[in-house]
């Protein structure tokens, strides 16, 4: 990796500051050496990118993906062998990177080996934090057994069922297997056959045991939490982020503000379920009915949380929907009341903060790792256009050109 100068570009640096036309950014190796204006010069032999007519942003974060799946056809995915899922995941990771996402948090399914391969340069994809498996109660969101049916489903690579005295051992198992973040289902969900997204799962006492052990071992915590009681139980136990937050109420909003808990709304996920049905994909009718029941509440409660000042980070739950369209979530955040600049911060600086990477990533500033994207779209005028990966013209990760469509 040599030096790289991006010149005469409009910089949106991810801090929330207004755009800076005519900016220059100098990259030296993996890091940003300097950010300035026309007076910023580069050493002889530096590669240059003419940024005239382009907008430069930090590499985006997706704080909620599942690379081991794609689409809500649960039965179809259960029938695939693990080796097939891994091969498919590699292509999905490349698509995600080329869509402008340079860092992602895989919250169930992807193991430490895929993360290691990416770090060693064997595969291309976002920088990863992984949960390895989702922890769920028996009969909860991670339990794919149909209530009362003769069929049972063996534990899948994406989840592990733990209850009562077994929750401590469950946390320790996923940490032993390389989990950077501990993912727990504190409520039921939409794409699970035998539960209700409004119902709380795990007792407050179980959640405290999980949280204490995760923090003791330096791990962050993510809660699949859709119902109001399960959201509040996770916030009170000290969770880092609430995923989905569909039935978030005012008490929950107040608790999140007091605790500084992040909200990762995944607004695109329920839409992806209905769109898959419309494309003729096999989606169970019970999943369609659940999705229809949550859509309006999801939109309204995330809007209320944003208006109250809850910190929001971008996450898509890609795996429910297609990978590589991650930046669609930006325009959905705009629909619930965010300005385009606020939505960009949700997808950059706030994502880095959720993952504990804010010292190195999330903004275009001197000394940080050189993760950046170059687009020919003015995102403040046409944020929705970023969903098209072809409008992400250049992707830089760790100072390397990973995509160049100039």
Whether pLDDT at 148 is above 60: no
Domain range for residue 187? 60-326
Same domain, 45 and 85: no
Classify residue 97: in a domain, yes or no. yes
Same domain, 278 and 385: no
Out of 305, 326, 347, a domain closes at 326
Range 347-362 average pLDDT: 98
Share of the chain above pLDDT 90, in %: 88
**φ, ψ (nearest 5 deg) of residue 183:** -105, 125
Classify residue 284: in a domain, yes or no. yes
The per-residue pLDDT for range 109-142, each reduced to its tens digit, is: 999 999 999 999 999 999 999 999 999 999 999 8
Same domain, 241 and 300: yes
- C-alpha 5/C-alpha 28 separation (Å) is 9
> Looking at residue 198, which CATH number applies to its domain?
3.20.20.140
DSSP-derived secondary structure letter, 336: T
Same domain, 37 and 109: no
Same domain, 16 and 99: no
Q: pTM for the complete prediction?
A: 0.96
Supply the residues annotated as catalytic: 183, 317
Contact of 17 with 3, CB cutoff 8 Å: no
- C-alpha 250/C-alpha 74 separation (Å) is 34
Share of the chain above pLDDT 70, in %: 97
Same domain, 85 and 177: yes
Number of domains in the chain: 2
Q: Which of 359, 365, 321, 363 shows the shortest CA–CA distance to 346? A: 363
Same domain, 47 and 161: no
> Looking at residue 47, which CATH number applies to its domain?
2.30.40.10
Whether pLDDT at 72 is above 90: no
């Amino acid at each position: 990796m040599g030096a790289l100068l991006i010149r005469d570009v409009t910089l949106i640096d991810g801090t929330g500051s207004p755009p800076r036309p005519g900016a220059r950014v100098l990259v030296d190796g993996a890091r940003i050496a300097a950010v300035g204006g026309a007076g910023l010069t580069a050493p002889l032999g530096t590669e240059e990118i003419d940024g005239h007519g382009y907008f430069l942003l930090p590499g985006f974060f997706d704080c909620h993906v599942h690379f081991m799946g794609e689409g809500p056809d649960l039965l179809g995915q259960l029938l695939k062998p693990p080796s097939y899922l891994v091969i498919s995941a590699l292509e999905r990771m490349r698509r995600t990177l080329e869509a402008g996402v340079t860092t992602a948090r895989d919250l169930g399914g992807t193991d430490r080996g895929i993360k290691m391969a990416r770090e060693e340069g064997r595969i291309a994809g976002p920088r990863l934090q992984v949960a390895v498996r989702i922890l769920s109660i028996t009969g909860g969101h991670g339990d794919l057994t149909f209530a009362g049916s003769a069929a049972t489903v063996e534990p899948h690579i994406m989840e592990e069922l733990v209850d009562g005295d077994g929750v401590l051992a469950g946390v320790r198992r996923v940490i032993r297997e390389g989990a950077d973040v501990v993912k727990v289902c504190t409520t039921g969900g939409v794409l699970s056959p035998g539960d209700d997204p409004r119902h709380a799962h795990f007792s407050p006492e179980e959640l405290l045991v999980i949280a204490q052990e995760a923090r003791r071992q330096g791990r962050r915590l993510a809660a699949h939490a859709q119902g109001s009681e399960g959201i509040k139980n996770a916030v009170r136990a000290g969770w880092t982020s609430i995923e989905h937050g569909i039935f978030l109420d005012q008490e929950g909003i107040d608790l999140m503000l007091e605790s500084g808990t992040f909200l990762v709304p995944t607004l695109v996920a329920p839409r992806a379920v209905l769109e898959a049905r419309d494309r003729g994909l096999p989606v169970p009718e019970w999943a369609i009915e659940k999705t229809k029941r949550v859509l309006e509440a999801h939109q309204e409660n995330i809007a209320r949380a944003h208006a109250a000042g809850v910190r929001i980070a971008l996450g898509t739950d890609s795996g429910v929907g297609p990978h590589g369209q991650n930046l669609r979530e930006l325009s959905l955040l705009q629909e619930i009341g965010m300005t385009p600049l606020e939505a960009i911060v949700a997808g950059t600086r706030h994502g880095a903060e959720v993952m504990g990477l804010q010292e190195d990533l999330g903004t275009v500033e001197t000394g940080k790792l050189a993760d950046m994207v170059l687009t020919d779209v003015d995102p403040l005028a046409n944020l929705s256009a970023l969903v098209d990966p072809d409008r992400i013209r250049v992707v830089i990760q760790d100072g390397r050109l990973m995509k160049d469509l100039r």
